[in-house]
Amino acid sequence: MAKTQIISDLQSAIGKKWVLYAPEDLLVYEYDATIERGLPEAVVLPNSAEQVAASVRIARRHNVPVTARGAGTGLSGGAIPCEGGVVLVTSRLNRILEVDAENRIAVVEPGVINLDISRAVDPHGLYYAPDPSSQKVCTIGGNVAENSGGPHCLRYGMTTNHVLGLEIVTAEGEIVSLGGKTDTAGYDLTGIVVGSEGTLAIVTKVIVRLLHKPESTITILAIFDEVDEASQAASAMIAGGVLPAALEMMDKNTMEAVEPFINAGYPPDAGAVLLIEVEGLEEDAREQSEQVQAVCKELSAREIRIGLSPEDRERLWAGRKGALGALGRLTPSYYILDGVVPRTRLPEVLRGIYDACDRHGFRVANVFHAGDGNLHPNVMFDEREPGVTERVLKLGEEIMRLCVDADGSITGEHGVGSEKRSYMSWIFSEDDMTAMKRLKLAFSATDGFNPGKVFPTSKGCGEVSSRMKAAIAKVGPDAYV
Amino acid sequence: MVEQATLTSDLEAIVGTTDIAAQDELASFTVDGVTPSAAVHPENAEQVADLIRLANDRSVTIIPWGGGTEMHIGNLPSRYDVALNTVRLARMIEHEPANLTATCEAGMTIGSLQDSLAKAGQTAPFDPHVPRDATVGGLLATNASGAARHFYGTPRDFTIGMRLVTGDGLVTKAGGKVVKNVAGYDMCKLYIGSRGTLGVITEATFKLAPLPAASSDLAFRSRTARDASSFVMEIHGRGLSLRSVALLNAAAADSASRRDSKTYFLAIQFAGTTAGVKRSLNEARSLASESSLKLVPDLDSGDACASFFERGEGETIVRCSTISAETPSLMEAIEEIAPSAQIVATPLAGIVRARWTNTEVGPDSLAKVRECARRLDASLLIEDCPPDEKGRTDVFGPRPPSLPLLWQMKQQFDPGNVLSPGRYVDRI
C-alpha cells in the first residue's frame, strides 16, 4: 500500500515514464562493477535539479533512502542500494551547460560522461584532467562522489582538485549551491561533498576547471628484471626532482596475461615494466625524459622504449589499458584491491603481497599507479571452487593490513563503500570517526542518502557473506582499474 | 567575566608557568583592538585539548595564533579571552624526500619549513611569496595564496593530512600520509580556510613539489590592465613555464619605487627546467615586442609578487575574486572609485587585491568597491578596515546560500562557541 503511494507520488512529480518499479526493470539497477547486489524498490530518472529535489522530498516523506547512480562503474559498491529505497539515476542529467574557454571553466550536469567534457573542450585546446580508467563510460557525478583518480592524477591531482563548485540537493530536498567560479565565503563544502560517496547530498551541477593541453608528451616504457628495481626506480625518479604526469607499473604476471592478447612485446622473463609519461613544453618533456631514462638505467632497466607520436604512445599504453581485460581471459574471477602506501614502502609491501598470495595459494597480478604508491593487486581465483571466496577475502584483508602497517591507507581511489567499512577503524580512531559523523550530522540528522556506506554499522548490505563479496569484480574485458 | 587570577592559575596548571605570556606581552596578541587576558604556548596537542576543555568549562574564549600575519582578517571577535599561540608546536616531524611528502607541527614558520625542505631540493607549494614568519597552521586556517596560485593551487590542493583539536577538545586526525587517499570524508577540506572557528590545527602533512631547476624574472610596463592581462593569458595558453604573475597598477608600482608612475607594471616569474625557462623568456620577450608592452630591464619580480601580502596601518584592504577575463575590468573600476588605491592582481587566478589609506579616499569608497564587485559577479573579502566599519558590515560579504550548513558545522565542531567567536562568515 505504502509502496504504491510512493510510486504514484514519484510519477506525478517527474512523469510516469521516468519511474520504474516493475521487477524486471529494477534488476538493471541492482549492481555496479562489483558483484554485490541490492534491489531498489523504485528507480527514478529525473531531468532537472527540481525533479531531483522533488524525488528526495517524496522519499523522505515515505521514509525510504535515496541512492544516486551514475554509470555504475564504481568499484566499492557506491551505487548499490544496500537498504533498498529509491535509486536516482543521473543519465538524463547529461547536459554540458556551459564551456567558458577563456576562463577555463565548464559547467556540467552529473550524468555527463567524463571523457565527453574533454571532447567538448578539445577545439579550444583544453581538457579535463582527472582520467579514471573508465573515463569513456563513467560520469562526472560518480567521479565527484568517489573523488576519482586515474593515471595522471600523480601530477594533476584527483577530482577534488578540479571541482570549483557544485549544486546539490540536500536531504531536506533543497537545492543549494556550494563554491563557484570564484572564491566564495564559508567553509569549503564543495571539498567535503567531493568524495563523500553519495552520503551527504545529491549533486545536480558541477563546475569544473579545465587545463590547457600540453605542447608535448613523451611516453617511456622501461623493462626491468626485478619488481624491486622497478619500484626503486619509481621512487628514485621522484626523489630526484622529476614529477611525471603518470608513473604506472605492471608486474610479470600481468605481462604474461597481456602479451598473448595485446602483443606488446614484453620479454617473457622480465619482472616488471614501468610506464612513464612526462609532458609540458617540448624542452621540459625532453629534459624530464632524459632524467627518467637515466634513473631507469641506473637501476638496471634492461630495455627502454620511447613513444613520441600519438600512435607510438598509444601502443606503449595498450598493455596497461588492456591489462584487466586480459586478466579476465585467464581466470574466471579476480579480486581487485585498492590500497596506498608511501612510495618508499612499495618494494617491501609488494614483497609482502607476493608472500601472502603464495601462502594462501593464489596468483596475483599487480598493475597499479606506482608514482602515487597506489596499489591494485588483482587476486585470481575460481569462484566455483567451494569456500574460495572466504579465502580470497581473508587474503584481501591481510593485504590491506600490510598497507596500513606501512603507514598507508585502505583506499586510494575506489572508495570505502560497504566493502571497507570495517577497515576504517584500522586507520581512524573513535574520535576521528566522531568528527566525520558530526560532519554528516551537520548535513542531515537522517540517514537518507546511500545508507550503509563509509561508516561501520551494525546493519549489513545483505548478509555478511554477500556483503564481503562486494569487491570481487565481474570478469570481462570491460573491467577497469 | 572571567576571574583573572583563577584563569591564570588554571592555564598554568596545563602549560606550566613558563609557557604563559607576561602581562606586558599581551598587547602583541591584540585582534581588532581587543587584547586578551592571557596568552599561552602549549607544546603538544594534548595541552591544546586541555586548554579547549578548560575554555568550555569556564566559558572562556580562545583565538588560535600562529605568526600573526593574517590576524586582521575576520569580523570583530564577539569575545576574546585567551590567545593560543602555536609557537612551541614548531617541530618538523617527518620528511622523506623520496615520498615527496612532509609532516610538521602547525606552529612551524613557512621560512623554516621551506629552508629545511630546500636542503633536499623540495618545497611545500605554499605561495613562494607568503611572509616567512607566517606559520603552517595560519596559512591552512586562511587557505592563503598569492601570485603563484595558478601554478601550485591553494593549501587545500596539497594538504593530505592534518591533526586538529575540535572546539570541544577531541584530538582528531584527518587524511593521512599518502598522496592519494579516499578513506572517509575529506576532513582536511573542512578545516582548511575555517579561520580558527572549528578547531585548532596542530599538525599537517603536505604533498611537496621539486624545487624548479631554474627560475627567471621578467617585468613589463603596460598602458592598460587589459593589454597586460591578455599578454599573460597568451603566454599561459602557450604552456610557458609561468610560476608567478603579479600585475600592479601605477600606484602600487610607484609605492615600491618601480620608477614609472603612469603605467601598469607586470612582474612575471618563470620556473621549470633550464631549457623550458630559457624558451619561455625568449618567447615572452618576443611576444611582448609585438604588443604594446615595454620590457623593464633588470628587475626582480619577487617584491611585486609579495605585495599580495603587504599591509600598512590605517588602511582598508580588499581581496576580490573574479573570473580571469574580468580581472582588468575590476582593476580599472576600483581605480576609478579610489584613485590612490594600490592594486595588485593575478589575472590567471582572477584575484584582485586593493589597499588604500583611509584618510586619502572618500568615506564611501569601500561601499562603492563592494557594489562594483557585486556588479561584476566577483566575491569580495575585506581583509582590513577601520574597526567601526567592521562593526557595521560583514567583512566576508553577503550571506552565502549554504549559510544554514555553515552554522550547523560550527554547532557540531565548536558547540560551546569558544573558538574565534564572531570572526567568521555571518559572525559565526
Mutate to test the interface with B, among A182, A410, A446, A453 (most CBs of B within 10 A): A182
Q: Residue B366 is which amino acid?
A: L
Residues of chain B by 3-state class (helix, strand, coil), percent to 5 = 35, 25, 40
Three-state secondary structure call for residue A13:
helix
CATH, range B214-306: 3.30.70.2190
Considering chain B, what is the average pLDDT of its residues? 94
Q: Name the DSSP letter for residue B401.
A: T
Domain with CATH 3.30.465.10 in chain A: 96-212
Grid coordinates given for B267: 612582474
Contact, A290 vs A211, CB < 8 A? Answer: no
Distance separating alpha carbons of residues A277 and A283, to the nearest angstrom: 14
Under the phi-then-psi rule, with left for phi > 0, alpha for psi from -120 to 50, and beta for the rest, what region is B356? Answer: beta
Contact, B131 vs B183, CB < 8 A? Answer: no
Domain with CATH 3.30.70.2170 in chain B: 315-392
The pLDDT of residue A262: 86
Cβ neighbors of A17 (< 8 A, separation 6 or more) are none
Grid coordinates given for B320: 576580490
Q: Which CATH class name applies to A331-443?
A: alpha beta
Confidence of residue A264 (pLDDT cuts 50, 70, 90): confident
Mean pLDDT of A450-469: 63
Residue A470 has pLDDT above 60, yes or no: no
Mutate to test the interface with B, among A126, A281, A288, A420 (most CBs of B within 10 A): A281
Considering CB atoms only, which of B121, B182, B272 is closest to A411? B182
E strand or H helix that includes residue B165? strand B159-166
Mean pLDDT of A11-31: 94
> Which residues numbered 210-229 in A keep a CB inside 8 Å of some CB on B?
212, 214-215
Compute the nearest-CA separation of B89 from chain A (Å): 21
Grid coordinates given for B150: 595558478
The pLDDT of residue B259: 61
Distance separating alpha carbons of residues B253 and B228, to the nearest angstrom: 14
The pLDDT of residue A465: 38
CATH number 3.20.20.210 given to B1-211:
no
Beta-carbon separation of A432 and B239 below 8 A = no
**A1 vs B: CB within 8 A:** no
The pLDDT of residue B157: 96
Outline where DSSP puts E strands in B358-424. Answer: 379-384
Distance separating alpha carbons of residues A269 and B71, to the nearest angstrom: 62
Beta-carbon separation of B186 and A194 below 8 A = yes
Which chain A residues are closer than 8 Å to B272 by Cβ? Answer: 280-281, 284
Which chain A residues are closer than 8 Å to B203 by Cβ? Answer: none
Would you state the CATH architecture of domain A216-321? 2-Layer Sandwich (3.30)
Which chain B residues are closer than 8 Å to A196 by Cβ? Answer: 185-186
**B209 vs A: CB within 8 A:** yes
Grid coordinates given for A176: 543549494
> Which residues numbered 70-109 in A keep a CB inside 8 Å of some CB on B?
100, 102-105
pLDDT digits (tens, 9 = 90+) for A332-377: 888 899 999 999 999 999 999 999 999 999 999 999 999 999 999 9
pLDDT digits (tens, 9 = 90+) for A125-171: 999 999 998 999 999 999 999 999 999 999 999 999 999 999 999 99
Question: b/e string for A196-223 if b means 16 or more Cβ within 10 A?
Answer: bbbbbbbbbbbbbbbbeebbbbbbbbbb
Q: Residue A337 is which amino acid?
A: L
Considering CB atoms only, which of B180, B189, B272 is closest to A340? B180
Domain with CATH 3.30.465.10 in chain B: 1-211
CATH, range A96-212: 3.30.465.10
Mean pLDDT of A439-444: 97
pLDDT digits (tens, 9 = 90+) for B164-194: 999 999 999 999 999 999 999 999 999 999 9
pLDDT digits (tens, 9 = 90+) for A278-332: 999 999 999 999 999 999 999 999 999 999 999 999 999 999 988 888 888 888 8
Q: Which CATH class name applies to B315-392?
A: alpha beta
Grid coordinates given for B88: 612551541
Which chain A residues are closer than 8 Å to B209 by Cβ? Answer: 243
What proportion of chain B, given as a percentage, has pLDDT over 70? 98
Domain with CATH 3.30.70.2190 in chain A: 216-321
Outline where DSSP puts E strands in B154-198. Answer: 159-166, 171-175
CATH, range A2-91: 3.30.43.10
The pLDDT of residue B323: 96
Domain with CATH 3.30.70.2740 in chain A: 331-443
Contact, A206 vs A178, CB < 8 A? Answer: no
Cβ neighbors of B86 (< 8 A, separation 6 or more) are B41, B42, B64, B65, B66, B105, B106, B107, B135, B137, B200, B202
Instruction: Kindly report the number of other CB atoms within 10 A of residue A351's CB atom.
Output: 14
Considering CB atoms only, which of A100, A181, A435 is closest to B170? A435
Q: What is the mean pLDDT of each run of 10 residues along chain B (428 residues)?
A: 82 92 95 96 97 97 97 97 98 94 98 97 93 97 95 95 98 96 97 98 96 94 96 96 95 73 91 95 96 86 87 95 96 95 96 95 92 95 92 95 97 98 98
**B302 vs A: CB within 8 A:** no
pLDDT digits (tens, 9 = 90+) for A377-417: 999 999 889 999 889 989 999 999 999 999 999 999 999 99
Q: Rounded to the nearest 5 degrees, what angle is found at the Cα of B86, between the Cα atoms of B83 and B87? A: 110
